[in-house]
Amino acid sequence: KFKEDKLSYDNIPTVVFSHPPIGTVGLTEPQAREQFGDAKVKTYNAKFKSMFFDFVDDEHKEPTVYKLVVVGEEEKVVGLHMVGAGSDEGIQGFSVAVKMGALKKHFDDTVAIHPTSTEEIVTMR
């Protein structure tokens, strides 16, 4: 049944296990602009300090930065890039959505799990 199946190398999630960790899937903003044109690409961004570090001195707080890259009027998600605590775990779940062709509206229609850093991804405006 599966002998003809082949792995698609599109939208392979990647993680760098650094401090803070980095997770990415899909196209970068420059790649999306090159492929689809500037007029069709839009990004949603979030930058904050995770609640994980609430009781840590400021000089030890790691940044959290997320970028969602979407294209077209329907805002198809073609890239998601995450830096910060939990990004290594979070990118795995979100990569399924990107691989399936999720739209920004699907993210918007998802109830955020609070308190998590990744709730920012489904509440970006």
Q: Give the residue numbers annotated as catalytic, written as ranges.
A: 114
State both tokens at 123: 């509440």
Q: Is 64 left (phi over 0), alpha (psi -120 to 50) or beta?
A: beta
State both tokens at 11: 């939208």
Length of the chain as a residue count: 125
